[in-house]
Amino acid sequence: MSDSDDDVPTLSAHTLAALQEFYNETRTDAAPSTEPSDQFTVGAVSEDWRMSQFWYSDETATRLAEEAIREAGEGGRIACVSAPSVYQKLKQGVVDGSDRVSASVLEYDRRFAAYGDDFIFYDYNEPLSLPASVAPQSFDIVLADPPYLSEECLSKVAKTIKYLSKGKVLLCTGAIMENHAKDLLDVKMSSFLPKHNRQLSNEFRCFVNYPSRLSSC
How much is the average pLDDT of 101-106? 98
Model confidence at 87: pLDDT above 60: yes
How much is the average pLDDT of 174-187? 97
How much is the average pLDDT of 64-88? 96
Give 120's contacts (C-beta < 8 A, 6+ positions apart): 104, 105, 106, 107, 130, 131, 134
Q: Rounded distance, CA 8 to CA 14, Å?
A: 18
Query: With the CA atoms of 175, 109, 166 and 141 taken in that order, what torsion angle do they form, in degrees rounded to the nearest 10?
Result: -60
CA distances to 29, 84, 104 from 143, rounded to whole Å, are: 27, 10, 10
Write down the mean pLDDT value for the chain.
83
Give 26's contacts (C-beta < 8 A, 6+ positions apart): 46
pTM given for the model: 0.78
Percent of the chain with pLDDT over 90: 64
